[in-house]
């Protein structure tokens, strides 16, 4: 890679690990943030991910990144971003990969936002200067970073209020992760659309017996 970008990945789960590993493999400087600086999963990830990989608190990561991926659990996202700190996030692009899944009402999960709000909007309201772009939340993490994992063409969605930020995220999706069909749904309120798709995704996962699938918008 000729140009290395400083990226924060918030969250040490499978999504954060996978996105962080992909970005590090592309030569970017990735800092994985978690609640404590001594998170064992983050340390194990960094040891595997190689030279560009660092770890730290949510605040350390957000301060280090030019672009921030929110890979925390949906019900922990706002707290994680508070811990990251508004000053460290200010005016940055935040790619919100999380979904507002509510496991408290039994399986399969429902959405704690209902369907007159979305996690993407909640984050945007809490951090008005941040350029929140909802993306990648409609596929499993292996497909997120490697669209060619599935045969043929299939679709990724972006939602966000800032056109420039969305254009940058589109470039990340196409150039780094191999996405070919990226549909801009509109402002961040359209995150209600892709988050509301999760209840269908979950049932397809059950019906198909695999999480390796995605939708292609045929038109």
Can you give the binding site for a second copy, defined by CB under 8 A? 105, 110-111, 114-116, 150-154, 157, 183-186, 190, 192-194, 196-204, 206-208, 210, 212-219
- How far apart are CB 150 and a second copy at their closest, in Å? 5
Please say which residue, 85 or 186, places its beta carbon nearer to a second copy.
Answer: 186
Strands ordered across the beta sheet of 93-96: 53-57, 29-34, 6-10, 67-70, 93-96, 131-135, 155-160, 181-186
For residues 51 and 218, which CB has a smaller minimum distance to a second copy in the complex? 218
Shortest distance, position 138 Cβ to a second copy, whole Å: 9
124, 118 Cβ separation under 8 angstroms = no
How far apart are CB 18 and a second copy at their closest, in Å? 19
Q: Between 43 and 150, name the residue whose CB sits nearer to a second copy.
A: 150
Residue 127: which residues within 8 A CB-CB, separation 6 or more?
Answer: 81, 86, 89, 94
Instruction: Select 115 or 129, whichever has its Cβ closest to a second copy.
Output: 115
Q: At closest approach, how far in Å is the CB of 118 from a second copy? A: 9
User: What element of type H or E holds 62?
Assistant: helix 58-64
Nearer to a second copy by Cβ, of 122 and 214: the residue is 214
CB of 151 to a second copy, least distance (A): 7
- Residue 205 gets the label, from left (phi > 0), alpha (psi -120 to 50) or beta, of alpha
Cα–Cα distance for residue pair 128/91, rounded to 1 Å:
9
């Amino acid at each position: 890679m000729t140009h290395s970008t400083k990226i924060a990945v918030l969250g040490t789960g499978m999504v954060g690990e996978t996105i962080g590993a992909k970005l590090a493999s592309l030569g970017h400087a990735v800092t994985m943030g978690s609640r404590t600086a001594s998170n064992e999963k983050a340390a194990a990830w960094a040891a595997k991910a190689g030279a560009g990989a660092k770890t730290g608190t949510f605040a350390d990561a957000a301060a280090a990144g030019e672009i921030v991926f929110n890979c925390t659990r949906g019900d922990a996202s706002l707290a994680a971003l508070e811990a990251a700190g508004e000053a460290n996030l200010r005016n940055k692009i935040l790619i919100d990969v999380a979904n507002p899944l509510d496991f408290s009402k039994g399986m399969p999960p429902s959405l704690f936002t209902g369907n007159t709000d979305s996690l993407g909007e909640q984050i945007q309201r809490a951090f008005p200067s941040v350029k929140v772009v909802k993306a990648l939340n409609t596929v499993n993490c292996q497909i997120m970073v490697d669209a060619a994992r599935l045969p043929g063409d299939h679709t990724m969605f972006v939602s966000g209020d800032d056109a420039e930020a969305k254009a940058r995220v589109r470039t990340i999706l196409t150039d780094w992760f191999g996405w070919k069909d990226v549909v801009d749904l509109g402002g961040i309120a359209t995150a209600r659309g892709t988050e509301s798709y999760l209840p269908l995704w979950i049932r397809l996962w059950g019906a198909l017996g695999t999480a390796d699938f995605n939708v292609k918008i045929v038109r």
